[in-house]
Amino acid sequence: MTMTRSTAGSTSARPRATWQRAAVNDILQRTEEFRSAQQIHAALESEGTKVGLATVYRNLTAMAESGEVDQVRNAEGETLYRCCHEPEHHHHIVCRSCGHTVEVSGGELEAWIASVSAAHGFTQMEHTAEFFGLCADCSEHSNRSAKAATPTIAVEQSPGEDRSSR
């Protein structure tokens, strides 16, 4: 079983400052959505910044370990990254359609985890909890698309047939 440790609120030392890390950070600072290493690499390339994909991965890993970026896994298991806006431990609600993300504190979830783990004798708990769904805009768009795609069934009426008796 693979477990991903939350990096939100980490107190590790920041990675060594390089122009490559600065370029990756710049891309992340300009987006609100979680992005894959490949998407970040493509954005750098499109801006004319030549950084290898392995370097992007290395910098993202170091930035995640230091708490500079948050990381989540999408439904396909791919790790996605975003600038960390909340220094304390937190969770994310992520739109699986457009990537819109909201950071939320755990509150009741944290209390439940502490209670359940203590009841089973576990200590020093770590966890990752990310929530995926559709944001209001994507949900509205999805509902409109579903209504537009609903087929209409036409029933032919024979001459002189009374439909009210059906």
Which 8-state DSSP code applies to residue 113?
H
Burial of 100 (0-12, 13-18, 19+ CB in 10 A): middle
Average pLDDT score over residue span 127-145: 86
- pLDDT, tens digit (0-9, with 9 covering 90-100), for 59-93: 999 999 988 998 888 878 899 999 887 777 788 88
DSSP 27-88: HHHT-SS-EEHHHHHHHHHHTT----HHHHHHHHHHHHHTTSEEEEE-TTS-EEEEE---SS
Distance CA 3, CA 7 (A): 12
Residue 36 backbone phi and psi in degrees, to 5: -80, 165
- pLDDT, tens digit (0-9, with 9 covering 90-100), for 4-60: 434 444 444 555 789 999 999 999 999 888 899 999 999 999 999 999 999 999 999
Q: Which amino acid is at 83?
A: C
Q: Say how many C-beta atoms besides its own lie within 10 A of residue 124's C-beta.
A: 5
pLDDT number for residue 145: 76
Stated pTM of the model: 0.62
Does residue 150 contact residue 105 with C-beta atoms inside 8 Å? no
